[in-house]
Copies of this chain bind each other. A is one copy, B any other.
Amino acid sequence: MDIKTINRIRQFSSERDWEQFHSPANLAKAISIESSELLECFLWDEENHDLSCVKEELADVLVYCRNLLDKLELDEDEIINEKMDKNEAKYPVEKAKGCSTKYDKL
């Protein structure tokens, strides 16, 4: 995400005095609710989604994720790379290739 976009998100909350609602728990709820709205774009028909619906709901998820990163003072790249270290260890290429089985059943 561009720093200009990040700053726009921050300014949006601060101008509205909304940081008071942004406890980590509330933001986790908000991310979960928005990701469910994203899922709703695919509810009864997985093949024909409304792209404008998907774009809006995915944006909502990403905005709340940014709020949570800010709140907890986390670096996006750092937490992702730490998780990718684990994913690469849990899903070795030779075992996981072409297979969607969860790691604990591989």
Contact assessment for A42 and B24 in the assembled complex, using a CB-CB cutoff below 8 Å: yes
Interface of chain A residues 61 through 83 with chain B (CB within 8 A): 61-63, 65, 68-69, 72, 74, 76-77, 79-83
The answer to whether A16 and B49 touch across the interface, beta carbons within 8 angstroms, is: no
Least Cβ distance of A79 to chain B in Å?
Answer: 4
Q: Are A76 and B1 in contact (CB under 8 A)?
A: yes
The A interface, classified by DSSP as helix, strand, loop or mixed, is helix
Q: How many copies does the complex hold?
A: 4
With contact pairs A33-B40, A76-B1, A88-B12 given, residues A82 and B58 touching in the complex (Cβ less than 8 Å) = no
Given A5-B80, A80-B63, A98 contacting B12 (CB threshold 8 A): no
13 additional A-B residue pairs with CB within 8 Å, beyond A16-B96, A18-B100, A30-B43? A8-B84, A18-B96, A24-B42, A24-B49, A29-B39, A31-B35, A31-B38, A32-B35, A33-B40, A35-B35, A35-B61, A55-B83, A61-B65
